[in-house]
Amino acid sequence: MFWNTAMETISAADLEALQIKRLKWTLHQTQNVALYRSKLKEAGVAPGDIKTLEDAAKLPFTTKKELQAGYPFGLLAVPLRQIVRIHTTSGTTGKPTVVGYTRGDLESWSELIARNLVMVGLSDEDVFQNAVNYGLFTGGLGFHYGAEKVGMTVVPSATGNTQRQIEMIEDFGVTAIHCTPSYAMHLAEVAESTGAELATLKTGIFGAEPWSESMRSELEGRLGVTAFDSYGLSEMYGPGVAFECPERDGLHIWHDSYLVEIIDPATGEVLGPGERGELVITPLVKEAMPLLRYRTGDITMLMEEDCPCGRGRKIARITGRSDDMLVIRGINVFPSQIEHVLLGLPEVGEQFMVYIDRVKHLDEMTIEVEMSRAGFSGELQDLARIQKHVAGALHNALGLRTTVKLVEPGSLPRFEGKARRIVDRRGAL
Ligand SMILES: [Zn+2]
């Protein structure tokens, strides 16, 4: 099913023409922003120099730091009276980025979310529980308006009070839920401990954190849903930038609204399909806050083949963030790799914490992981055997020796928003 057949199945030639037209419009729009006037001048590019999509490579990149430096309204290309809403990023690393929306932006954003929701098989027959933070975080209102646009019955449950969330699913006959994957796991645990069956749930949409294929099968098994990956970032509109279709092999990104490039994060050179690098996006329809070649920090690649569903070229699932990536004794480690290993071991649960210390100039990584309830016999020699097994599996996957500490089921922190499983104490001396 398509929400907007003409745009979702646009031919390559028509798409290219549309992208060029919209890129030129976007360039024009950026000229209302002092930062872009000076950046283009510095790069020696005039808006009129951009005639083909390849010319986009002449344009300067935009970084998160530049957006932060523009706090609060320095990046807006329209007067404040045309801004009807603002959101912000979480601001965990310095000042948040403020994102402004015109009425037209809110319309475009809901349109893209509506495409995603219909793509995964949802319709006005569905009851949609939106179990993410409302407010300044874009995930809440973004999905809310997209789901309403499709005509779904929206339950704006937001986060917290898991027992009540479970009652809502059962009492309202909720068929689709949107939340973070870590909150979904928590929901499954609480549902299991209370014997709730969540029989009406069929679709799970999980985003705002990277999650692995093994977590997918875990969530699908425990919640009884088909799980879809959702990718977004507030600097664009929020969620809904890219989304899995029923093929669940890569994510569709709406090329009529986002010009996608993959670059080598070290050199800035544009990479071809099949080559993994940093995702760079130029939004093509944003009115309030146009951006040129925004460096997302997310690692992915453009896939080589068009998707059999008819919606064109996809990007691969995000395999990490350049700033989430840990460098331990010179080796690159993504938290998702650790999660993948632990989910493959029946003796331990899916909850873990990672601590990184510098001991005598050497990086030491300690991983605390909960035993699974079934594997928790309490026998000491059993504990030593499991510990060795987990450490060995991590060593194989990461190429690093780690210290593994087994802890009791239920003793590690649960996260209702974004999981914060990494504690890097190397700078704390
Ligand atoms: Zn597809």
CATH number at residue 364: 3.30.300.30
Q: Are residues 359 and 294 in the same domain?
A: no
pLDDT at 170: 97
Query: In angstroms, what is the span from residue 307 Cα to ligand 1's centroid?
Result: 5
- pLDDT, tens digit, 9 for 90 and up, residues 82-115: 999 999 987 656 778 999 999 999 999 999 999 9
Question: Does 402 have pLDDT greater than 60?
Answer: yes
Query: In angstroms, what is the span from residue 178 Cα to ligand 1's centroid?
Result: 20
What is the residue type of 290? P
Query: In angstroms, what is the span from residue 245 Cα to ligand 1's centroid?
Result: 5
> Taking residues 140-164, what's their average pLDDT?
96
Q: Are residues 219 and 362 in the same domain?
A: no
Q: Are residues 368 and 300 in the same domain?
A: no
Q: Are residues 380 and 343 in the same domain?
A: yes
User: Left (φ > 0), alpha (ψ -120 to 50) or beta: where does 17 sit?
Assistant: alpha
Q: Are residues 315 and 373 in the same domain?
A: no
pLDDT at 378: 66
Question: Does 152 have pLDDT greater than 90?
Answer: yes
Query: In angstroms, what is the span from residue 306 Cα to ligand 1's centroid?
Result: 8
Q: Are residues 317 and 284 in the same domain?
A: yes
Query: In angstroms, what is the span from residue 246 Cα to ligand 1's centroid?
Result: 7
Band (138; pLDDT cuts 50, 70, 90): very high
Question: Does 321 have pLDDT greater than 80?
Answer: no
Residue percentage of the chain with pLDDT more than 70: 96
**Range 97-100, long-range pairs (CB < 8 A, 24+ positions):** 97/64, 97/67, 97/68, 97/70, 97/71, 97/234, 97/235, 98/71, 98/72, 98/73, 99/138, 99/234, 99/235, 99/237, 99/238, 99/288, 99/289, 100/73, 100/76, 100/288, 100/289
Number of domains in the chain: 2
Q: Are residues 247 and 374 in the same domain?
A: no
Which residues constitute the domain of residue 253? 1-321
* Model pTM score: 0.79
CATH number at residue 149: 3.40.50.12780
- pLDDT, tens digit, 9 for 90 and up, residues 181-193: 989 999 999 999 9
> Taking residues 121-149, what's their average pLDDT?
96
Q: Are residues 131 and 184 in the same domain?
A: yes
Query: In angstroms, what is the span from residue 308 Cα to ligand 1's centroid?
Result: 6
Query: In angstroms, what is the span from residue 14 Cα to ligand 1's centroid?
Result: 19
Query: In angstroms, what is the span from residue 289 Cα to ligand 1's centroid?
Result: 29
Q: Are residues 273 and 394 in the same domain?
A: no
Query: In angstroms, what is the span from residue 80 Cα to ligand 1's centroid?
Result: 38
- pLDDT, tens digit, 9 for 90 and up, residues 202-255: 999 999 877 888 889 999 999 999 999 999 999 999 998 999 999 999 999 999
